[in-house]
Amino acid sequence: MAEKQPDNSDATTQRLQPFVVVGAIVLLASLVVDEVFGHQGFFGFDGFAGFYALFGLLAGLVIIALAKGIGAALKRPDTYYDD
């Protein structure tokens, strides 16, 4: 009969809890600082909430598309090293 493995989920939860608490405090503090000091866009269109998140997402998607295109252009046939 196979022995049952001990469940370490409680230990993992207890170990990660301080990091989650500190992360939540930092998140809330950054939101408060943003509301207190405000944010004005330099160009006008970059002043709305979430602009930089959207910009980062689109930039990442463009980089992935470029990498896939370059990979397809540089790909060798499967029989390239065969004699």
The reported pLDDT for the residue numbered 82 is 83
The reported pLDDT for the residue numbered 32 is 84
Q: How far apart are CA 46 and CA 49, in angstroms?
A: 8
Rounded to the nearest 5 percent, the helix, strand and coil shares of the chain are: 65, 0, 35
The domain limits of the chain are: 15-74
- Asked whether the predicted pLDDT for residue 75 surpasses 80, the reply is yes
Burial of 23 (0-12, 13-18, 19+ CB in 10 A): exposed
Q: What is the pLDDT of residues 27-37, one digit of tens each?
A: 899 888 877 88
Q: Which residues fall within 8 angstroms of residue 71, CB to CB, at 6 or more apart?
A: none
